[in-house]
């Protein structure tokens, strides 16, 4: 079961003593390779770089690069290994002064960021979608929600504990903007996740529309569990517990101006009825779409069927950053008439 789902990558990962980072996928002669805009002191440490394959009939096409990194946060004091996907346009001269929209992709708990690459093929799917103009060139940040292992924090700022929500909604975006040419506004950022990552994606966008304007939840749930893996997340604070309950938020708080996509299956997913209730409860200015399969369990096979549609959908909700210096704006040269 562990081999299939990839819950833990090693014994040290299971016991919470793993402080290492994942091995590179493909060795590259140009580690870093990010061009202008990389500042190692920003909170992003680049470990290695790999080329992303582009499955196309054209010759000479590039799928971009995948950087293996460690992202540290100044406010939370947390850090986590991750992969950063840079689209091929990031390295083209005409985009040398362009900032790009970004998507954070999260695994379930406890998860392994490598699963987003090896099991779900997200960088390859993104490269293909960008090549086909199904999505704009977008930077992806692939990681797990477990940034304070082995504890399952459900992506929240635990009273007296890890400040994980601050890490994702503030530190991560600031560190990325300091190291890569990525936008800084909520309209430039989206978040996607499966299972626990799906709950985190919805919750963080609903609680922090100033950080994420759009979200995709693959088989996510709508209320944080409290069990042996989470410990006491709320310190007995009923208000804090309610604020992390998504159905409670929809019933009692103003709906944020965000767009979300939720997925489920009529047969095989335990969140089906709750997902329908969530969709029914959403009101403007919040917008909700759904992707419901006839059948499919809570596993990689189901998510692999959903990602090719969900990822472009999310990218299409985002806006290209507008903070490009006017003098650096790429010029459009008319094609010569035939």
Q: What is the tens place of the pLDDT at every residue in 24-82?
A: 233 333 333 444 334 455 799 999 999 998 876 565 578 999 999 999 999 999 999 99
Does residue 13 form part of some domain? Answer: no
How would you classify residue 219: left for phi > 0, otherwise alpha for psi between -120 and 50, otherwise beta? left
Does residue 95 form part of some domain? Answer: yes
Does residue 227 form part of some domain? Answer: yes
DSSP state of 208: -
Contacts of 238 (CB under 8 A, 6+ apart): none
Does residue 333 form part of some domain? Answer: no
**171-201 per-residue burial string, b: 16 or more CB within 10 A, e: under 16:** bbbebbbbbbbbbbbbbbbbbbbbbbbbbbb
Contacts of 63 (CB under 8 A, 6+ apart): 51, 52, 53, 54, 88, 123, 124, 127, 128, 131
268, with CB counted inside 10 A (0-12, 13-18, 19+), is middle
**pTM of the predicted protein model:** 0.85
Residue of 48, 71, 77, 52 lying closest to 62 (CA atoms): 52
Does residue 215 form part of some domain? Answer: yes
Q: What is the pLDDT of residues 286-312, one digit of tens each?
A: 999 999 999 999 999 999 999 999 999
What tokens does 244 get?
């992390």
Cα of 287 vs its chain's centroid, Å: 19
Contacts of 273 (CB under 8 A, 6+ apart): none
Structural domain including 151 reads 44-323
Does residue 9 form part of some domain? Answer: no
If you compute the radius of gyration of the chain from its CA atoms, what whole number of angstroms results?
19
Q: How many domains does the chain have?
A: 1
Through-space distance between the first and last CA atoms of the chain, rounded to whole angstroms? 61
CATH number at residue 77: 3.40.50.1820
Does residue 100 form part of some domain? Answer: yes
Rounded Cα distance between 186 and 222, Å, is 22
Q: What is the pLDDT along the chain (338 residues), one digit of tens a residue?
A: 665 454 454 565 455 554 433 322 333 333 334 443 344 557 999 999 999 988 765 655 789 999 999 999 999 999 999 999 999 999 999 999 999 999 999 999 989 999 999 999 999 999 999 999 999 999 999 999 999 999 999 999 999 999 999 999 999 999 999 999 999 999 999 999 999 999 999 999 999 999 999 999 999 999 998 889 999 999 999 999 999 999 999 999 999 999 999 999 999 999 999 999 999 999 999 999 999 999 999 999 999 999 999 999 999 999 999 754 433 333 333 333 33
Residue of 206, 204, 230, 221 lying closest to 272 (CA atoms): 221
Does residue 334 form part of some domain? Answer: no
């Amino acid at each position: 079961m562990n081999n299939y789902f990839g819950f833990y990558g090693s014994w040290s990962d299971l016991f919470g003593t793993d402080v290492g980072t994942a091995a590179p996928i493909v060795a590259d002669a140009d580690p870093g390779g990010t061009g202008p805009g990389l500042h190692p002191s920003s909170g992003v440490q680049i470990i290695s770089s790999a080329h992303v394959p582009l499955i196309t009939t054209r010759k000479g096409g590039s799928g971009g690069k995948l950087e293996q990194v460690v992202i540290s946060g100044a406010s939370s004091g947390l850090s986590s290994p991750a992969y950063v996907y840079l689209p091929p346009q990031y390295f083209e001269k005409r985009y040398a002064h362009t900032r790009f929209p970004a998507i954070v992709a999260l695994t379930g708990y406890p998860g392994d960021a490598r699963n987003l690459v090896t099991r779900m093929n997200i960088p390859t799917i993104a490269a293909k979608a960008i090549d086909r103009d199904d999505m704009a060139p977008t930077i992806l940040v692939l990681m797990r929600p477990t940034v304070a292992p082995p504890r399952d924090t459900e992506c929240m700022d635990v009273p007296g504990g890890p400040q994980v929500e601050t890490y994702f909604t503030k530190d991560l975006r600031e560190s990325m903007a300091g190291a890569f040419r990525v936008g800084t506004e909520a309209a430039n950022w989206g978040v996607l996740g499966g299972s626990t990552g799906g709950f985190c994606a919805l919750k963080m966008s609903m609680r922090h529309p100033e950080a994420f304007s759009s979200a995709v939840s693959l088989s996510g749930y709508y209320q944080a569990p409290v069990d042996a893996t989470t410990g006491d997340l709320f310190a007995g604070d009923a208000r804090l517990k309610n604020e992390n309950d998504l159905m409670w938020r929809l019933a009692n708080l103003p709906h944020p101006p965000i767009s979300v996509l939720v997925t489920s299956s009529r047969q095989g997913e335990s969140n089906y009825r709750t997902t329908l209730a969530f969709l029914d409860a959403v009101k403007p200015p919040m917008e909700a779409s759904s992707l419901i399969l006839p059948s499919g369990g809570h596993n990689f096979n189901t998510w692999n069927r959903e990602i090719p549609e969900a990822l472009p959908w999310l990218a299409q909700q985002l806006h290209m950053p507008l903070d490009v210096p006017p003098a650096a704006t790429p010029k459009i040269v008319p094609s010569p008439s035939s």
